[in-house]
């Protein structure tokens, strides 16, 4: 009879380890599937990108002026250069990643549903910051006669703006204090 009870601690440890693995696997699966579904949605329904293009353009227009919304994209004429905020610059990839991360943290009990509501304005602010920094960087390149690097500057400013925004949101969610946004 004693031999039957000797295996109980091993079984208990096995079940506890299995539970820990499942607690991690489901939120991770949710993160991946959320990101995938949102990316597919924005690829299939390109018109949905205007939900991001228009408000980002309004913010850029507040700061730079001279913007005009034509055919679902913003066109800015700044210092004899034409800047277009259109479908490739909508910021939907960042939004998809942000939503996926927030869903993951909600499932791991680190964030509240309020973060889902904040994701859209955060994505608009981050995209506007990227566009404004791209315009400023482009103007600097024009001054330095290095306009052949405009596409690289666009990618670099986007990477920096979205990375900083994502890290800030992650910090606010992950911080150890019991904040208002938890």
Q: What is the pLDDT of residue 164?
A: 96
180 located within any domain: no
pLDDT digits (tens, 9 = 90+) for 100-152: 999 988 888 888 899 999 999 999 999 999 999 998 888 887 777 766 777 78
DSSP annotation of 65 reads: -
pLDDT digits (tens, 9 = 90+) for 13-25: 665 665 555 555 6
Dihedral sign from CA coordinates of 168, 39, 112, 176:
negative
Q: Number of structural domains, the chain?
A: 1
Q: What CA–CA distance (Å, rounded) separates 9 from 27? A: 28
The dihedrals phi and psi of 180, each to the nearest 5 degrees, come to -70, -30
pTM (predicted TM-score): 0.79
Domain range holding 84? 28-174
14 located within any domain: no
Q: Which SS3 state, helix, strand or coil, does residue 69 take? A: strand
CA distances from 101 to 33, 41, 94, 111, 152 (A): 11, 17, 11, 10, 27
38 located within any domain: yes
Q: What is the pLDDT of residue 152?
A: 85
Side-chain-facing half-sphere of 118: CA atoms under 13 Å: 16
146 located within any domain: yes
């Amino acid at each position: 009879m004693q031999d039957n009870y000797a295996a109980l601690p091993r079984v208990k440890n096995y079940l506890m380890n299995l539970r820990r693995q499942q607690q991690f696997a489901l939120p991770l699966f949710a993160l991946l599937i959320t990101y995938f579904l949102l990316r597919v949605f924005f690829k299939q329904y390109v018109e949905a990108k205007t939900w991001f293009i228009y408000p980002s353009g309004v913010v850029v227009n507040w700061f730079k002026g001279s913007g005009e919304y034509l055919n679902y994209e913003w066109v800015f004429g700044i210092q004899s250069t034409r800047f277009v905020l259109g479908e490739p610059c909508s910021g939907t990839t960042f939004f998809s990643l942000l939503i996926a991360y927030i869903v993951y943290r909600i499932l791991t009990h680190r964030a509240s549903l309020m973060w889902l509501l904040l994701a859209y304005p955060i994505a608009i602010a981050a995209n506007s910051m990227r566009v404004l920094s791209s315009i400023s960087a482009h103007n600097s390149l024009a001054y330095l006669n290095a306009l052949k690097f405009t596409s690289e500057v666009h990618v670099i400013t986007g990477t920096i703006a979205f990375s900083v925004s994502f890290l800030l949101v992650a910090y606010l969610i992950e911080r150890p204090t019991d904040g208002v946004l938890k």
